[in-house]
Amino acid sequence: MQKKLYPALLVAFALAVAAIIYIKKPSTPTLPAPKDRVGRLALGGEWVNTKAAMEGLLAKLRADPTDQKSRLLLAEAYMQEGRITGNHPYYDAAAMQLLQEVLRTDPENFEALCSEASLNLTQHHFSQGLALAQQAQEINPQSGYVYGLLTDANVELGHYADAVKMADKMNQVRPDLGAYARVSYLREIYGDVPGAIQAMDMAVKAGYAGLEQTEWTRVALGHLYEVSGHLPEAEAYYRQALQMRPNYAYALAGLARVAAARHDYPTAINNLKLARALVKDYAFTDELVDVYRLNHQPEEADKMARESVEMLADAAQQANDNEALGHYADRELAYAYLKTGDLDKALEHAKIEYARRPDNIDVNETLAWVHYKRGEYKDAQKYITVALRTHSQNPVLLGRAGLIMSKNGQVAEGRALIEQAAKTAPYLNPEVTAEGETLLAAR
């Protein structure tokens, strides 16, 4: 009896141990699946092919969970899908999960480090993105892509001299669409708008017509013409982008701005509504605020302004709750609160963004403008001086600087900047233009 009992007890003990091990064994994270596109974005063959490619990668990972190449490709596909649809909260989190699984297995995986750096830049975690890009550069200093990331991070942090060096290196290693586009951005920052247009034109010609990256670049070229006062050329590029990539939200938004500049507000509103229906981007809602006000629809404008705050506040809260992931949106929130008249909240968020990147000219412009709207003109002067240090010729910046200088006794300098902004592109920011015209008329 005892001889038969002993083996049975051993079997029972072994089963119990196995059960404990099984329970304690960490489960494999669930693979995030793609979301179906909706509306016009689901039309055409691109979504069919994209969805099939992503589902194929998922199938490979289910068959072989150790297939890190497929995991990396899926992460990159999700990042691009987030860009196309605007559904960054879902796709960025999904991509981050996949990338971190790759890096747990291979901490020096160059492609994964670059992708995580890019994801951090998308989320406006610029310092983290810079650190990851620098880590990737040490692994592969001959990659043009990594120098693009280093350019972007340094631009956003306001390290413009370093950004120029990284862009030059990128063009030496691999001159392509991304390299030319970054040269264009930097030339614009330094006030060379004709040079920026030339470089962005090279970027467009280096891309494949119809791809999202190419049409984004074509829209950027149109915007350069828009901010330099050449509306017909801007409109032509926006229409071409829409022809090459039907239902492209950013081209629709560009056409909306052109229509608004010509006082065709119903067309502008319709195009922005279409863009909003296609892609989740706060910018379209923000632009609707201005157009509704110009079209004498204050209730709709106020509704859009509140919606802008809600969209951005949700993103900011997610970022505060999770330092590793979540979109920092405090600069955008500062402007959104200005449009609702909440000057205290506007200052709070402008200061939060300034604490993250005090050298960035756009952040300094934001803080300067918030102080101006609060009647704190000396504080505004301090920050607008920093914002002007690269000699950017952006008309909105110049108009704001002119107003601030005028309030601080620099009447002649302020008047010259206001006149320059009004002459170049008075349609870019109706509020600044109106205040400038009022000030000029009073003298």
Q: What is the pLDDT of residues 29-59, one digit of tens each?
A: 689 999 999 888 998 889 999 999 999 999 9
What CA–CA distance (Å, rounded) separates 51 from 410?
Answer: 58
The mean pLDDT of 287-313, rounded to a whole number, is 95
Per the listing, tokens 């000057």 go with: 343
Percent of the chain with pLDDT over 70: 91
- In this model, does residue 63 exceed pLDDT 80? yes
The confidence score (pLDDT) of residue 316 equals: 73
Nearest to 325 by CA among 36, 76, 91, 155: 91
Q: Are 120 and 132 in contact (CB under 8 A)?
A: yes
What CA–CA distance (Å, rounded) separates 353 from 55?
Answer: 39
Using CA atoms of 88, 89, 90, 92 in order, give the dihedral in degrees to the nearest 10: 60
The confidence score (pLDDT) of residue 320 equals: 67
Average pLDDT, the chain: 91
**Interior CA angle at 258 toward 253 and 264, to 5°?**
105
What CA–CA distance (Å, rounded) separates 418 from 86?
Answer: 35
Q: Are 432 and 290 in contact (CB under 8 A)?
A: no
Q: Are 206 and 176 in contact (CB under 8 A)?
A: yes
The confidence score (pLDDT) of residue 255 equals: 98
The mean pLDDT of 288-307, rounded to a whole number, is 96
SS3 content of the chain, % helix, strand, coil (to 5): 80, 0, 20
What CA–CA distance (Å, rounded) separates 140 from 319?
Answer: 30
- In this model, does residue 323 exceed pLDDT 70? no
- In this model, does residue 175 exceed pLDDT 90? yes
What CA–CA distance (Å, rounded) separates 230 from 221?
Answer: 11
Helix axes 298-321, 282-294, angle to 10 degrees: 160
The confidence score (pLDDT) of residue 98 equals: 97
Q: What is the pLDDT of residues 243-294, one digit of tens each?
A: 999 999 999 999 999 999 999 999 999 999 999 999 989 999 999 999 999 9
Dihedral sign from CA coordinates of 162, 165, 168, 172: negative
Q: Are 308 and 286 in contact (CB under 8 A)?
A: yes
Compute how many other C-beta atoms are within 10 angstroms of the C-beta atom of residue 12. Answer: 10
Per the listing, tokens 């890190």 go with: 68
What CA–CA distance (Å, rounded) separates 40 from 427?
Answer: 30
Nearest to 271 by CA among 286, 283, 288, 246: 288
The mean pLDDT of 172-180, rounded to a whole number, is 96
Helix axes 45-63, 68-85, angle to 10 degrees: 150
Number of residues that make up the chain: 443
What CA–CA distance (Å, rounded) separates 337 from 101?
Answer: 39
The mean pLDDT of 116-140, rounded to a whole number, is 96
- Kind and range of the H or E element at 424? helix 411-424
Rg (CA), the chain: 25
Q: What is the pLDDT of residues 203-247, one digit of tens each?
A: 999 999 999 999 999 999 999 999 999 999 999 999 999 999 999
CATH of 357-442, one of 1.25.40.10, 2.60.120.260, 1.10.10.10, 3.40.1360.10: 1.25.40.10
The confidence score (pLDDT) of residue 440 equals: 83
Residues 6+ apart with CB under 8 A from 149: 114, 117, 118, 121, 129, 133, 136
Indicate the range of 3-7, 88-92, 332-336, 388-392 predicted with least confidence. 3-7
pLDDT band at 325 (very low <50, low <70, confident <90, very high): low
Residues 6+ apart with CB under 8 A from 270: 256
Q: Residue 111 half-sphere exposure, CB side, CA atoms within 13 Å?
A: 12
Q: Are 370 and 384 in contact (CB under 8 A)?
A: no
What CA–CA distance (Å, rounded) separates 47 from 35?
Answer: 11
